[in-house]
Homo-oligomer: A and B are copies of this chain.
């Protein structure tokens, strides 16, 4: 049955009404949104220039001099906004750039976390210099900086290392502060800035820095300004991050490569041993077969399950884009699968393949694995479960390359090298602060956002929850297709514009929204 035009109009009208009803526009919220939008439109060029200048400073965490240049530059950016700044570091570590902005009369304090270091680059794989930001239009044509004028198209992208991960959020926060100040809108919360300089190196000093400066870093909530928005381009907030622990496994065959004809069927083939071992650890549907592996998994709460159920259906589109006729997990959606622990084989290596292959029994076979953990798993417990499983498969575990004596004494030797790893963390979605952050962000974007109980990726979120003892919520703003950690990292400008809106709204509205939640809660008592 074809619908008549009037029926379509009725449906459209109903849709608009429900959207309007949902928004419940608050006049003060409207004022902030309009003021910030105006400011941004008038200052696009200034904001872009500040970001491009910041991106021009190489920022690989291991390059000490570069990192310090970034840190000093960033501290100056903060001071221009009136923040008091300090460098927090341990020994020779890249400094955390710390800053503070007081909001007179505010009862709450938030920490804004971001990182200013970036992943190492392989410049040959980039289309342009990773540290010379290039703006390109929707069709990938470079736009000379000299010919740029406002309004800048939101679909254009800025290409540079850390354009998205994670300097854009820093610049968005600072532009948000500028916008509020220009409109005479006070901050609704005290703000502490915690801008890390070695996140991409695994945050080796962050635990000690956080412990050392625990008093300085006291706050009511920490917002993680890192990571991408949803693949649909819809805004999302996340309440957790999976833990991670890496494992390198080496299985041994004969001490020297042997002719497969003369010794095959007799000298143990390490590649087949490894294949059997890996197959015993995980099935083709992603289920981990290690005894007890799921025992510590905390069940999702009702609120978390509801958030997953509301998740947009993107799997079919993703499968198509990735060339996949099936997915792991017996067809369960991606968002459910990333709530579970995972075992990923990152690499295999043994002998040679293809034109380089020779008829030999390799001397060893290696696998590299990353385990993703969810609450309440811990790297220690996972290590011990995995090692117990490997022993049950008849392997003798070593942690150093075995010498001849050990090789002669033990069948099926495997060397295990564990990375340090870190535990998962998850802030309850039922906390008042969790609800209020969601509400303010939804107010900023004018519609429902996606709420992710746990991000699929890992981050040292446990440091905030377990060491600093403060709830942490991720409020990412950059585009999902930003090539983070890869060549040609980029930022879609509309994500920067939207990010300024969101962060400004959080800074301007969070305090009072939080108070009103508290008042309502008090009233309900």
Give A contacts to B, CB under 8 Å.
Answer: 119, 228, 242, 244, 246, 248, 252, 254-269, 271-276, 278-279, 282-284, 286, 319-320, 322-329, 334, 337-338, 340, 342, 344-354, 356-362, 365-368, 370, 372, 404, 407-412, 455-458, 480, 484-486
Known: A261-B244, A329-B265. A350 touches B351 (CB 8 A): no
**For the complex, what is the distance from the CA of A167 to the CA of B342, rounded to whole Å?**
54
When the two chains form their complex, are residues A262 and B353 in contact, meaning their CB atoms are under 8 A apart?
Answer: no
B residues within 8 A CB of A254?
Answer: 322-324
Known contacts A264-B372, A266-B328, A274-B348; 7 further A-B pairs (Cβ under 8 A): A260-B372, A261-B458, A275-B275, A324-B407, A325-B409, A347-B362, A348-B365
Which residue of B has the minimal Cβ distance to A119? B358
Among B278, B279, B347, contact of A357 (Cβ-Cβ < 8 Å): B347
When the two chains form their complex, are residues B286 and A266 in contact, meaning their CB atoms are under 8 A apart?
Answer: yes
**For the complex, what is the distance from the CA of A242 to the CA of B358, rounded to whole Å?**
16
**For the complex, what is the distance from the CA of A354 to the CA of B352, rounded to whole Å?**
17
A-B contact pairs, 14 of them (CB 8 A): A248-B353, A252-B323, A261-B456, A265-B337, A266-B337, A269-B328, A269-B345, A274-B348, A324-B407, A346-B358, A347-B352, A349-B349, A354-B366, A354-B368
When the two chains form their complex, are residues A346 and B338 in contact, meaning their CB atoms are under 8 A apart?
Answer: no
When the two chains form their complex, are residues A486 and B349 in contact, meaning their CB atoms are under 8 A apart?
Answer: no
Minimum distance in angstroms from A413 CB to a CB of chain B: 8
**For the complex, what is the distance from the CA of A326 to the CA of B413, rounded to whole Å?**
11
The quantity of this chain's copies bound in the complex is 2
B residues within 8 A CB of A337?
Answer: 264-266
When the two chains form their complex, are residues A360 and B272 in contact, meaning their CB atoms are under 8 A apart?
Answer: no
When the two chains form their complex, are residues B322 and A267 in contact, meaning their CB atoms are under 8 A apart?
Answer: yes
Known: A322-B256, A368-B357. A334 touches B263 (CB 8 A): yes
When the two chains form their complex, are residues A357 and B246 in contact, meaning their CB atoms are under 8 A apart?
Answer: yes
Which residue of B has the minimal Cβ distance to A481? B256
Which residue of B has the minimal Cβ distance to A286? B265
**For the complex, what is the distance from the CA of A319 to the CA of B268, rounded to whole Å?**
10
When the two chains form their complex, are residues B259 and A484 in contact, meaning their CB atoms are under 8 A apart?
Answer: yes
When the two chains form their complex, are residues A407 and B323 in contact, meaning their CB atoms are under 8 A apart?
Answer: yes
7 A-B pairs closest in CB distance: A261-B457, A323-B407, A347-B351, A326-B411, A271-B345, A357-B368, A260-B344
Minimum distance in angstroms from A230 CB to a CB of chain B: 10
Known: A265-B286, A267-B328, A279-B272. A344 touches B370 (CB 8 A): no
Which residue of B has the minimal Cβ distance to A365? B348
**For the complex, what is the distance from the CA of A453 to the CA of B516, rounded to whole Å?**
91
Known: A268-B326, A269-B328, A358-B485. A263 touches B456 (CB 8 A): yes
Among B342, B347, B411, contact of A325 (Cβ-Cβ < 8 Å): B411
When the two chains form their complex, are residues B351 and A262 in contact, meaning their CB atoms are under 8 A apart?
Answer: no
B residues within 8 A CB of A408?
Answer: 319-320, 323-325
B residues within 8 A CB of A352?
Answer: 346-347, 349, 368
Which residue of B has the minimal Cβ distance to A459? B261
B residues within 8 A CB of A349?
Answer: 348-350, 352-353
**For the complex, what is the distance from the CA of A269 to the CA of B343, rounded to whole Å?**
10
When the two chains form their complex, are residues B361 and A344 in contact, meaning their CB atoms are under 8 A apart?
Answer: yes
Known: A412-B326, A455-B261. A346 touches B351 (CB 8 A): yes
Minimum distance in angstroms from A478 CB to a CB of chain B: 12
When the two chains form their complex, are residues B350 and A264 in contact, meaning their CB atoms are under 8 A apart?
Answer: no
